[in-house]
Amino acid sequence: MVPEIPMSYASNPLQTAHGYDAPCVTQFSVFLDNRVGKLLDVVETLNAHPYTQICALSVHEASDYAVVRIITNGSDATRDILKSKRFPFSEKELLIVELVNGHDLASLCLCLLSAELNIHFAYPLLLKMHGAPTIALAVDDITLAGQILRRKEFVLLGEADLPHD
């Protein structure tokens, strides 16, 4: 027997009977040899596919390798492309926060600090969704961070909110 979902949950698709689910996106960390042209290979491979657009990109280099963090507007297609081209990668769920309604980076950090949540890394999106700065965040607890930021009236975006041409 399936338990009946209370009406308040049914009217809000972001909330479930098990608790709040923050909208999030999938980040792909692609591992590359640190050689000329490798980043271009990944970018051209993803750009060639009609169902993926790179929305955020961050490169972290070491002497022998680089880690390219990528967010696209089509995680399923991106995963399939990376697998088919045999790029080594991992995945992580991130929050996307739009800095509107008087919020800035300092107020974002303060909200997360007040809940003792660490920001593991952050980087801006390439595209401004509504003309406002937008940042991708990896945090200790994505659900708690999403609850706190929503309560403080930050705008959180999911993959469906990212631009599609």
- Please give the pLDDT value at position 46: 95
Q: Tell me what percent of the residues of the chain surpass a pLDDT of 70.
A: 87
DSSP string covering 82-99, please?
Answer: HHHTT--EEEEEEEEEE-
CA angle (14, 15, 16) in 5-degree steps:
125
More confidently predicted of 20 and 136: 136
- Please give the pLDDT value at position 22: 81
HEC readout, 34-62: CCCCHHHHHHHHHHCCCCCCEEEEEEEEC
User: For 44-63, how does the pLDDT look when each residue is reduced to its tens digit (9 = 90+)?
Assistant: 999 999 888 999 999 998 88
Contact 151, 13 (CB under 8 A): no
Residue 30 has pLDDT above 70, yes or no: yes
Residue 89 has pLDDT above 90, yes or no: yes
Write out the two tokens for 133.
Answer: 């700065």
Residues in contact with 138: Cβ distance below 8 Å, sequence separation at least 6, in sequence order: 27, 92, 94, 119, 120, 121, 122
What 3-state class would DSSP assign to 19?
Answer: strand
pTM: 0.82
Residue 39 has pLDDT above 70, yes or no: yes
Q: Domains of the chain by range and CATH? A: 25-92 (3.30.2130.10), 93-159 (3.30.2130.10)
Residue 164 has pLDDT above 90, yes or no: no
70 strand-pairing partners:
28, 57
pLDDT-derived band at 21 (thresholds 50, 70, 90) equals confident
Average pLDDT value for the chain: 86
What number is the average pLDDT over the span 21-25? 87
More confidently predicted of 20 and 10: 20
Query: Which residue, chain included where needed, has tokens 């980043």?
Result: 39
Residue 122 has pLDDT above 80, yes or no: yes
- Please give the pLDDT value at position 62: 82
What number is the average pLDDT over the span 145-162? 93
* Per-residue DSSP letter, 162: S
